[in-house]
Structure 1
Amino acid sequence: MNPGDLFPDGFGEDSQPGTADFGPPVPTKNDDLGVPFFEISDLNLDDLSQSGQIPDPRRPGFTKAGGSLTKHGAGRRDGNTKFPNATGNPDNINQIAQQELDNILRDPNTDFEQGYRDRFGETIEANSPDGRGAVFDKDGNFLFFKE
């Protein structure tokens, strides 16, 4: 079959669409009213902190924060330097990870912002001035550390 039969007007001859022509913009609002899905004043730092202590179902013995530190600790991936190396037994790693999470959340200069990640949808992203960060789903459940 000749491609000209499928595309009688041709293809690839005119200007190509820009990236803005593909898909909807990244959402920052949760409904048609244009209301942000969270307000900074609504965040409960204790709840965000406690969500890091939930057992990680994919890593027996680790909390959500501890499991994330095993992936994002120094030296685990190229360029990861902001978090300490996850060494020791799971209890030790969980304790270090929780301290890291609490330090990010309690830093008065930490910036909280709305985000969007294809895999998780709307997120709450805590970014400390030193480059460490933590990502939560829109309900405040800890997802992972970032840098």
Structure 2
Amino acid sequence: MKKVILSLLGAAVIFTAITPSTFASDIKLESEVNEVLGTPYVWGGTTAAGFDCSGFILYVLKKFNVDNLPRTSQSQAKVGTAVAKENLRSGDLVFFNTLGTGISHAGIYLGDDQFAHSSSSKGVRISKLSETYYKDRYVTARRVVDQQSYLNMVN
């Protein structure tokens, strides 16, 4: 009986220590991303018929009432609050220098080292920040989602 009680107590401690963005709470954001996974890349695209990277961000975040973002990834990287890589949470925007000329690509952080983006070669997909290609090109992250929109995204 002691083992059962200790196991239950241990499980309770573990589950209460998990932050909301680490458990199954990101389902809404991931669900919106999954709806458009595989959508082709279209330069200037902002609809489910085709997205570029910043158009994809606009489309997904609008689902959570975040509709005041600029159109381009360079402009999006200047709004909101800077976030250290180790403090990323679901809904934060991540930015990359893929062309060697400054910020040229962006995505939405999903948690667990993953971000969703519209790749020019593969369309909407989920990648890991730790992949060499993205790790070497990572520039910054911005938090553009207010607390209420964040809660809507993860609850």
Provide TM-score, normalisation by structure 2: 0.28
The structure with the largest strand share of the pair is: 2
Provide TM-score, normalisation by structure 1: 0.29
The structure with the largest helix share of the pair is: 2
